[in-house]
Structure formats: C-alpha cells, structure tokens
Chains A and B, each alone.
Chain A
Amino acid sequence: MPSLPDVMTPDAAQLAQAAGGEGRAPLETGSPEHDLFTGLTRLGDTTLILGHRVSEWCGLAPVLEEDIALANMALDLIGQTQLWLGLAGEVEGRGRDADALAFRRDGWEFHNLLLVERPNGDFGRTLMRQFLFDAYHLPLLKALEGSTNPRIAEIAAKAGKEVAYHVERSADLVIRLGDGTDESHARMQSSLDALWGYTGEAFIGDAVDARLGEAGVMPAPESLRSDWDRTVNAVLAEATLERPASDFAHKGGKQGRHSEHLGHLLTSMQWLQRSYPDATW
C-alpha cells in the first residue's frame, strides 16, 4: 500500500480513500451502506479517540490504582473500537480493517463527538469528561441492543456490560471530588463549565441519523437525552455541583469538522503506522 499523500495535495481526501480501496468504488453518499458505515465510524471513532485520550494518563495518574483503572477503561474502549471499526470496514467492503481505519484516515474523516477529543486537563477534568460521556454511552448501547442489525446488537450487548462499570466508577469519582474539598469542588465545577458546551452534540441528529433511526438500525440521538439528563442531574446534585444553564452546543465532530485538538492527538496516535506502514513485531 502506498503511503498517504501530504495534506496539502489538492485531492488528498480522494487519494486517501483510494489508497485503501482495492480498486472498488467508494460507497455512494446517502446509500444505506454509506449511512451504516458513517454511523459505525461515529461509534468507533468516539470510543477510539476517548480510549486514546484516557490512555494518555498511563504512568501519570495521581495514584497507582487510578492509573491502572484508567488504563483498563481505555482498554475496554479500544476493544469496543476494534468491534465497531472492524464492522465498519466490512460494511465498506474495500479491504480496510479496524487498524486501517484508525491509523490511516485524516482528521476530516473522523466522526467522533467533539467532547471526547477535549484535552485531559487535570485528573478531575478527565473524570468529568468520562462521566458526561458514560452517562450518554450506556443508554446509547442499551438502545443499540435493540438494533434491527444483529451485528450491531451483539456488539452493543457486549460493550454495555463493560460500560455499566465505567459509569459507576466515573459517577462515584465525580461525586467524591465534587463533594470533596474546596479545591476539588472548584476544579470539578470549572471542569463541568468548560466541558458543558460539548455535551449537546450527542443529542443532535442529522440526515444520516434520521435515516438510520427510521430503519431501526441506531436510535435517534434526540431520544437519548432524557436518560442522560436524569443521570447527570442526579449525580451533579449529589456532587454539589451546579448544572450550567446554557444549552449552547458545539457541533461538527460527527460530520468531520473538528477542533485543533484532534489533529494533535492523531499525530501522536498515528505516527508509527504512518511512518512505517504495515510494520509488525
């Protein structure tokens, strides 16, 4: 496989797609297969980018037990990514496996939520980001268990068991740190305020979501909001944290428009595979 072109090449996006294509045409935009591929990359890219972010803590967390816990949670997320992106590659039918999708796409081809590419910040901010995501991730997976696509349903059933432990842990820690010392409380409130504008994107559907929802393949994003609200309100109340009033939501991640942070993350995550394609050990 040839190495990917420089991003300044005018038709880089097309070249990058063709590089993994095995001569087959890309899926047609708006077709059920393209919608399914897009929906699966939204799931897999979100778990991939969050998994990578969380793994950045490995060796750096405040105490050994938390270091191990973060690494294990990252491992769950990367495992789920292999299932989602593996299936996405099968649906696309152009010879790209989970590794090819993870390591050989550029930023504009990633469809993760903006929330998960936010930098880690301090330990409290990482846990707040995790909780805000977990509170959405679990009801999402529960809904996906009822998908009309049996492959999606079985991955969701598997992942849901793991994520139930994630949300318990992140909720515990948000409560302990929020309702902790003055210092930890202030940091958790400022984390919540800083991340809040990135939470709404998960509940805003586009045309792809609408078609997937209609076909019963994936739930309409709007339908997951009330569960999330209930969990977040209960935990924030217990954590003595104040829910921000604004409903303003940054959007674009699901459509491939990202913050600068994703590019920095990808340079680190993809470096080896970009420099030494197909390297093995």
Chain B
Amino acid sequence: MKPAVEQVWQWLGEVPDPEIPVISLTDLGVIRDVAYEGDTLVVTVTPTYSGCPATAVINLDIENKLRDNGVTDLRLSRQLSPPWSSDWINPAAREALKDYGIAPPIDGTAADGVLAGRIARLGGAGNLVVACPRCGSNHTEKISQFGSTPCKAAYQCRDCLEPFDYFKCI
C-alpha cells in the first residue's frame, strides 16, 4: 500500500504533540518533509530542542499512526538544519495554545545572547510583555527563564495571580 503524500500529511495532522495534546505535530512544525524513496515512505522530522524528551515519543507516535493506516515500508529521518523555530507554529495552533493556558510565542523575540540590551532590560527598560492566557492582562512577570519544559518560561499574572507557561521564541 502506497498512500498519497497528501493523505500522509493529513494523518500526521491528527497526531497530537505528546506534551501539548491540543496541537498536532504538523501544527508544531516538526514535520519537515513527506516523500517516497522508491517504495519507502520517508518522513523527515526535526527536533524542537536537542534534548527534548518528547522527540522519541513523537517518532513512536508517527510510526504507530502510519502503521495503523497500513503503511509498512517506512523510514523516519532526522533533519537538524535549518533548526526548528517557534515561528513555524501555525496561527490556529497559537490560539489553541492560549485556550489551553499557555501563552504563545511572540515572534521576533528570540534570545540572541547580546547582553547589552539584556542588562538594560534588568533596569526595567524594554521588558517583554506576555499577556496572561487566562484573563488577558499584560500585568505579568517572569518567574523563571525555564518553565515546565525547556521550550517554556514560567510567568505569573499580577492581576488574576494565575501562574502560566510562556512558549519561548526560539
């Protein structure tokens, strides 16, 4: 059985992210390519973070989904370059993240490691404003650069007091 590439993309769009089940693997942007090499279906996957423990689960979920749909000749290929970017999370998924209680990434705010601007921000200038996904208030503060997973930072809303995760821009 050799299903069409479009069909495979649709199936992959039904596989939930193992850590954030309200978005799918295609929403997350980790599927880089689906193609046939001869009779072998090759799915190319990029990891979000190099140490992300969900990577192995994602690969297993892809394999299970496709095998359940009758694909027998399958290979998963890892692609590091270009490195995954949170810019690849699609707009609908950003809304789903917010409804789920996770503030979506604010594009263009990835850490650049340039500390001059950083040091200025410590004095209060130009801090990133992350809206509370629960009440929408901009009156929030960063608790830690790293939240429940490496891809998120921990924030708290100063109005409704809700602690929440912010999906960092990378």
Which residue of chain A has the shortest Cβ distance to B53 in the bound complex? A75
A238, B144: Cα distance in complex, Å = 20
Distance in Å from the Cβ of B82 to the closest Cβ of chain A?
A: 7
B115 within 8 A of A: yes
Listed A/B pairs (11) with beta-carbon separation below 8 Å = A75-B51, A75-B150, A76-B49, A76-B50, A155-B50, A157-B81, A157-B83, A171-B115, A235-B119, A238-B119, A238-B122
Q: Report yes or no: B49 in contact with A79, Cβ–Cβ below 8 A.
A: yes
Q: Judge whether B40 is part of the interface by a CB distance below 8 angstroms.
A: no
Interface centre among B82, B111, B122, B143 (most CB of A within 10 A): B111
Contact A69 B145 (CB under 8 A): yes
A27 at interface by CB-CB < 8 Å: no
Q: Which residue of A lies closest to B52 (CB)?
A: A79
**Chain A residues within an 8 Å CB radius of B16:** none
Query: Could you tell me if B50 and A159 are in contact, using CB atoms closer than 8 angstroms?
Result: yes
A175 is an interface residue with CB less than 8 A from chain B: yes
Which B residues lie within 8 Å of A76 (CB)? Answer: 49-51, 150
Asked if B135 CB lies within 8 Å of chain A CBs, one says: no
Which of A69, A161, A175, A238 counts the most B-chain CB atoms under 10 A from its CB?
A161
Contact B122 A175 (CB under 8 A): yes
On whether the beta carbons of A65 and B144 are closer than 8 Å, the reply is yes
Among A162-170, A211-219, A265-273, which stretch is in contact with chain B? Answer: A162-170
A75–B112 Cα distance when bound, in Å, is 20
Contact with B along A55-86 (1 / 0, CB 8 A): 00000000001101100110111111011000
Size category of the binding interface on chain B:
20 to 34
Interface of B is mostly: loop
In the bound complex, how far is the Cα of B81 from the Cα of A150, in angstroms?
Answer: 10
- Minimum CB–CB distance from A232 to chain B (whole Å) comes to 10
**Nearest B residue to A75, CB-CB:** B51
Q: Does B22 contact A (CB under 8 A)?
A: no
Q: Which chain A residues in 140-190 approach chain B with CB under 8 Å?
A: 150, 153-155, 157-159, 161-165, 167-169, 171-172, 175
Interface assignment of B148: CB less than 8 Å from any CB of chain A:
yes
Smallest Cβ distance from B159 to chain A, in angstroms?
20
Is there contact, CB below 8 Å, between A155 and B80? yes
Q: Secondary structure of the A side of the interface?
A: helix
B residues in contact with A77, CB < 8 Å: 51
Known: A68-B147, A171-B118. A161 touches B154 (CB 8 A): no
Q: Are B112 and A164 in contact (CB under 8 A)?
A: yes
Which residues from chain B contact A79 at a C-beta distance below 8 Å?
Answer: 47, 49-52
> In the complex, which of the residues B50, B145, B154 has the most CB atoms of chain A within 10 Å of its own CB atom?
B50
Say which residue of B50, B52, B145 sits within 8 Å of A83 (CB atoms).
B50
Q: Does A202 contact B (CB under 8 A)?
A: no
Chain A residues, CB < 8 A from B118: 168, 171-172
In the complex, whether A223 has a CB less than 8 A from a CB of chain B is no
Task: Contact check, B145 vs A168: say whether CB atoms are below 8 A apart.
Answer: yes
Residue in B closest to A169 when the chains form the complex, CB atoms = B145
Q: Is B149 an interface residue (CB 8 A)?
A: yes
| Cβ-based interface call for B116 (8 A) | yes
Interface residues of A in 61-115 (CB under 8 A from B): 65-66, 68-69, 72-73, 75-80, 82-83
Residues on A with C-beta less than 8 A from B49 are 75-76, 79, 162
Q: Does B146 contact A (CB under 8 A)?
A: yes
Residue of B47, B110, B143, B146 with most chain A CB atoms under a 10 A cut-off: B146
Q: How distant is the Cα of A167 from the Cα of B117 in the complex, in angstroms? A: 13
> How far, in angstroms, from A238 to B120 measured CA to CA in the complex?
10
Picked from B53, B111, B112, B154, the residue with its CB within 8 Å of the CB of A65 is B154
Contact of A80 among B51, B147, B168 (CB under 8 A): B51
- Give the residues in chain A near B82, CB-CB below 8 Å: 157
Q: Which of A233-248 contact B (CB under 8 A)?
A: 234-235, 238
* Complex: A158 Cα to B112 Cα, angstroms: 13
In the complex the two chains form, is B145's CB within 8 Å of A80's CB? no
Task: Give chain A residues whose Cβ lies under 8 Å from the Cβ of B144.
Answer: 65-66, 68-69
Question: Does B66 interact with chain A (Cβ within 8 Å)?
Answer: no
Nearest to B163 among chain A residues (CB) is: A65
A231 at the interface (CB under 8 A from B): yes
Q: Is the CB of A169 within 8 A of B122?
A: no
